[in-house]
Amino acid sequence: MSGRFSRSAAVFGTVAVVAATLQGSAQADGPDESAPAAPGAGERAGHPPQFPPGRPAPPKQPVATGFGGAVATVDADATAAGMRALRRGGTATDAAVAAAAALGVTEPFSSGIGGGGFYVHYDAGTGEVSTLDGRETAPAAATEELFIDAETGEPLPFQQARVSGLSVGTPGTLQTWQEALDRWGRRSLADALSPATRLAARGFVVDETFRSQVAGNAELFADFPASAELFLPDGAPPEVGSRLRNRDLAATYRLIARHGTDAFYGGEIGADVAATVQDPPVADDADRDVRPGSMTVDDLAGYEVVEREPTTVEYDGLQVFGMGPPSSGGSTVGEALNILETADPGPDDTTAALHHYLEASALAFADRNRYVGDPDVVDVPLDELLSQGFADERACEIAPAAAADKPVAPGVPDGEYTGGDSCGPEAGAGAVAHEGMSTTHLTTADRWGNVVAYTLTIEQTGGSGIAVPGRGFLLNNELTDFNFAPSQGDAPDPNLPGPGKRPRSSISPTIVLDDGEPFLALGTPGGSTIITTVLQTLVNRIDLGMDLPEALAAPRASQRNTPSVTAEPEFVESRSGEQLRSLGHSFTTTPEIGALTGLEFLRGGRIQAVAEPERRGGGSAAVLFPVR
């Protein structure tokens, strides 16, 4: 499915583009973070500030087009922190780390140094795409029965597993920042942490997304005094428009700026992390059975970010690079694109293109569930999953006029394929596991042409719900991304817990090159819908003639090999939604899917930075110079 629309649509597209620079924005180039807060606006009339007044939140614009570098995140303060790094001569990596550190303050329920993530980098000097795996890791003492209740022999209920020390993986985020800066940065970690430290010390303006994320976790946070102290001022979620400080996190960032990442991996912060995991500090009056975990200071001291080979597929003459295992993002997006490469839905037939998109997603998910796990522990047939031969064989399962019954069975990526003349053998069917809906994604580019797509997470919105006392950040519950019990029938499950193992992820930071030059960079949160959202946005942009802002704003649908497609109401109600129903697709609606950010590299050195116009309250895109 390819080549039916011009890829240069965005150059001439009809979507209004607002050039935004954050030059001169209040947050951007402030004095040193230790200076006292300046008085200012930012408190909404009728809501007295809970803390002394400070600077207003910088403006939020979802689309910006221009030159010299760009940042797109879900949050205006984080985008401002990234832009500050670019303005000071920093690289895409300096900007990405500065933005990520700021997200640890303003998006603490989706990111932060208590979590992990995956980092994809394009180096303009060498033309190489590299990837860093900063995934959280099970402690050395973890076993396959991590989430099995010893008394009943049954898997723990999800919420009980989530809110426990058991679910907390050894965090990889801080080491990812340092590793990325060592390879591709021009500035120090201390410099990257500076705007975020200032933001935490002086406070930021609470928006609707922040408040609703606290409200959704209020009962949980109330059971952990350290979490309640941070996020429930006066015992309740902070008001929209009020200013929230996180002095503990400011102090933690300062400590790291002074002593480096050793303060965390083996140092005093790490000691507090391990103590919290081993004995979660629950409120005296909490009616909650919170199981301890086994993470030790040695687990932290031994943590390693791993450089992995990126996944690569050709699609419509483009080179699509993604994140390999333990993320299933690159392999699943890549396999689905290979399947779509064989499809020929007919000119301008959007419904047929979407039918193929849904069917290809289901097939690729069946294979993901059956074959993908931590490559250091299980044998992942990655080359075969990404081979065109396997995709041709899988594409045979798609009937142009009828949706297949779901779940579909996985294929057999054994190197011997039918060539698409007949459908290949099938392996036993597998179940679909639970996955969260949190996380955040950011995308940056610099004046040299380097590009970063970085997705970071603490798994659920609010992670485990357990903050490290006195340190200002939440611990992840990433280990619940493991399957709690075997899910693949008689076949081995690649994603069961194990000592030092990394749980399978869906995170899909993606960089697309056109003849070796950057064309697109994108990613999103959303649990396993991450994969389908990245895939659908690529289909929208490359096959359906949308420019990037349109591709991103379009209603979403996610088929992850389940009986019905999960879709946004606007998708179900669209003409294509109606036509897809007549092909046999059924839908379950959900208010929104994902919160994507991305960049498109236009002609003549222009960059278009794009964030969500609406979802999760809208994101923030900026470029260094609106005109050359």
Min separation Cβ 364 and ligand GLU, Å: 15
Work out whether 439 is an interface residue with ligand GLU (CB under 6 A). yes
Question: What DSSP designation does 170 have?
Answer: B
Closest to ligand GLU by CB, 195 or 497: 497
Closest to ligand GLU by CB, 374 or 435: 435
Q: How many CB atoms lie within 10 A of CB 469?
A: 17
Closest to ligand GLU by CB, 135 or 356: 135
Contact 64, 79 (CB under 8 A): no
Q: What type of residue is 431?
A: A
Q: How remote is the C-alpha of 607 from its chain's centroid?
A: 22
Which residues 480-519 are close enough to bind ligand GLU by CB under 6 A? 481, 505-507
Task: Dig out the tokens for 464 from the structure.
Answer: 């485990």
- 505 labelled as ligand-binding? yes
Work out whether 173 is an interface residue with ligand GLU (CB under 6 A). no
Pairing assessment for the beta strands 311-315 and 597-601 based on DSSP bridges: unpaired
Four-residue CA torsion sign, 382, 383, 384, 387: positive
Rg, Å, the chain Cα set: 23
- 110 labelled as ligand-binding? no
Q: How far is residue 544's CA from residue 549's CA, in Å, rounded to a whole number?
A: 13
- 422 labelled as ligand-binding? no
- Tell me whether residue 455 is one of the annotated catalytic residues: no
What residues have CB less than 8 Å from 453, skipping those under 6 apart?
Answer: 119, 120, 441, 443, 509, 510, 511, 521, 522, 523
Contact 49, 203 (CB under 8 A): no
Contact 99, 73 (CB under 8 A): yes
Min separation Cβ 169 and ligand GLU, Å: 10
Contact pattern from residue 525 through residue 544 relative to ligand GLU, giving x for each residue in contact according to CB under 6 A and a dash for the rest: xxx--x--------------
Question: CA nearest 115: which of 140, 93, 137, 147?
Answer: 137
Per the residue annotation, which of 439, 440, 510, 597 is the catalytic one?
Answer: 439
Longest dimension (CA), the chain: 71
Work out whether 459 is an interface residue with ligand GLU (CB under 6 A). yes
Tell me whether the omega of the peptide bond preceding residue 225 falls within 30 degrees of 0, making it cis: no
Closest to ligand GLU by CB, 507 or 538: 507
Closest to ligand GLU by CB, 217 or 438: 438
Work out whether 430 is an interface residue with ligand GLU (CB under 6 A). no
Min separation Cβ 558 and ligand GLU, Å: 12
Min separation Cβ 478 and ligand GLU, Å: 6
Q: How remote is the C-alpha of 398 from its chain's centroid?
A: 29
Work out whether 342 is an interface residue with ligand GLU (CB under 6 A). no
Min separation Cβ 525 and ligand GLU, Å: 4
Closest to ligand GLU by CB, 255 or 433: 433
Task: Dig out the tokens for 326 from the structure.
Answer: 């333990």
- Please identify, among the stretches 125-133, 212-220, 398-406, 435-443, the one whose residues bind ligand GLU according to the rule CB under 6 A: 435-443
First-last CA distance in the chain: 36
- 331 labelled as ligand-binding? no
- 545 labelled as ligand-binding? no
Tell me whether the omega of the peptide bond preceding residue 238 falls within 30 degrees of 0, making it cis: no
Min separation Cβ 260 and ligand GLU, Å: 27
Number of residues that bind ligand GLU (CB under 6 A): 16
Instruction: Supply the residues annotated as catalytic.
Output: 439
| Binding site feature residues for L-glutamate | 135, 481, 505-506, 527
Which parts of this chain interact with ligand GLU (CB under 6 A)?
435-439, 457, 459, 478, 481, 505-507, 525-527, 530
